[in-house]
Structure 1
Amino acid sequence: MAKSRATLGIDLHVEPTGPRVRRGLTDALREAVRTGRLTPGTRLPSSRALAADLGIARNTVADAYADLVAEGWLTARQGSGTRVAAGVPSTASGPWGSAAAPPTGTAPQPRPRSRPAYDLLPGVPDLSSFPRTEWLKAARRALVAAPNEAFDYGDPRGRVELRTALAGYLARARGVRADPGRILVCAGISHGLQILGAMLRARGASTVAVESYGLDVHWRLLADAGLRTVPLPFDERGTDPRQLTDQAAVLLTPAHQFPMGGTLHRDRRAAVVDWARRTGGLIVEDDYDGEFRYDRQPVGALQGLDPDHVVYAGTTSKSLAPGLRLAWLVLPPGLVKEAARAKGGKDMCGALDQLTLAEFLTSGAYDRHVRAARLRYRRRRDALVAELARRAPQVHATGISAGLHVVLRLPPGTEQATLRAASWQDLALHGLHRYRHPDATFEPLDALVVGYGTPPDHAWSGALEALCTVLPESDEPEATGPALTGPELNGPESAASEPSGP
Structure 2
Amino acid sequence: MADTQTNLAWETLLDLSTTRPGPLHHQLAEAIRTAIRGGRLPLGSALPPSRVLATDLGVSRWTVTEAYGQLATEGFLAGKTGSATRVSWSPEPDERRAVVHSHPGHADPRRHLPVRYDFSQCTPDFRAFPRRKWVEAIRTAAETAPFDRLGYAQPGGEPRLRGILADHLNRRRGTNIDPALMTVFTGAKAAMGALARALYAEGHRLLAIEDPGSNGMWEPARAAGLELVPLPVDERGIVAEALAEHPGVRAVCIGPAHQVVNGAELAPERRSWLLEWASRVDGLVIEDDYDSEFSYDRPALPAMQGTDPRRVALIGSMSRTMTPTVNVGWAVVPGRWLTALRPEPWTAPTAPALNQLALAHFIESGSYDRHLRTSRQRFRTRRDALVAALEQALPGARVSGQQAGLHMLLELPPGASATRVMAAALRHEIELCDLNLLRMAGDPDTTRLMVGYGNLADAQVTAGVAALVELIREAGGEG
TM-score normalised by length of structure 1: 0.82
Rounded Cα–Cα distance in structure 1 between residues aligned with 2:362 and 2:209? 33
- Residues 1:452 and 2:453 are matched in the alignment: yes
Match of 2:63 in 1: 60
Aligned residues: 450
Aligned letter for 2:358?
Answer: T
Q: Which moved more, 1:333-342 or 1:32-41?
A: 32-41
Rounded Cα–Cα distance in structure 1 between residues aligned with 2:69 and 2:294? 61
> The residue matched to 1:320 in structure 2 has which SS?
coil
> The residue matched to 1:233 in structure 2 has which SS?
strand
Match of 2:435 in 1: 432
Q: Which moved more, 1:389-398 or 1:265-274?
A: 389-398
- 1:376-414 deviation line (CA, Å, top 9, x unaligned): 111111122223333323321111211111111235662
- 1:190-227 deviation line (CA, Å, top 9, x unaligned): 11111112111222221111001113343222111111
The 8 Å contact of residues 294 and 405 in structure 2, kept in 1 or not, is answered as yes
- Map 1:109-258 to 2 at 5 A: 113-244=112-243, 245-258=247-260
Q: Which moved more, 1:33-42 or 1:235-244?
A: 33-42
- Map 1:34-433 to 2 at 5 A: 34-84=37-87, 86=88, 88=89, 93=93, 113-244=112-243, 245-341=247-343, 344-345=346-347, 348-411=350-413, 414-433=417-436
> The residue matched to 1:408 in structure 2 has which SS?
strand
Rounded Cα–Cα distance in structure 2 between residues aligned with 1:278 and 1:207? 17
Match of 2:31 among 28, 49, 52: 28
The 8 Å contact of residues 159 and 351 in structure 1, kept in 2 or not, is answered as yes
- 1:436-495 deviation line (CA, Å, top 9, x unaligned): 11299xx9752011111111223223223223444468799xxxxxxxxxxxxxxxxxxx
The 8 Å contact of residues 182 and 332 in structure 2, kept in 1 or not, is answered as yes
Structure of higher CA gyration radius: 1
> The residue matched to 2:85 in structure 1 has which SS?
strand
> The residue matched to 1:234 in structure 2 has which SS?
strand
- Specify whether residues 397 and 43 from structure 1 end up closer, same or farther in structure 2 by C-alpha distance, changes over 3 A only: same
Aligned letter for 1:353?
Answer: N
Rounded Cα–Cα distance in structure 2 between residues aligned with 1:111 and 1:402? 30
Rounded Cα–Cα distance in structure 1 between residues aligned with 2:54 and 2:283? 67
> The residue matched to 1:448 in structure 2 has which SS?
strand
User: Which ranges in structure 2 are unaligned for 5 or more consecutive residues?
Assistant: 1-8, 96-108
- Specify whether residues 391 and 46 from structure 1 end up closer, same or farther in structure 2 by C-alpha distance, changes over 3 A only: closer
Aligned letter for 2:418?
Answer: E
Q: Which moved more, 1:43-52 or 1:211-220?
A: 43-52
Aligned letter for 2:152?
Answer: Y
Aligned letter for 1:228?
Answer: E
Match of 1:462 in 2: 463
Match of 2:99 in 1: none
- Specify whether residues 150 and 242 from structure 1 end up closer, same or farther in structure 2 by C-alpha distance, changes over 3 A only: same
Aligned letter for 1:349?
Answer: A
Rounded Cα–Cα distance in structure 1 between residues aligned with 2:75 and 2:121? 49
Shift of 1:276: 1.0
Shift of 1:334: 1.5
Shift of 1:93: 4.2
Rounded Cα–Cα distance in structure 2 between residues aligned with 1:82 and 1:341? 52
TM-score normalised by length of structure 2: 0.85
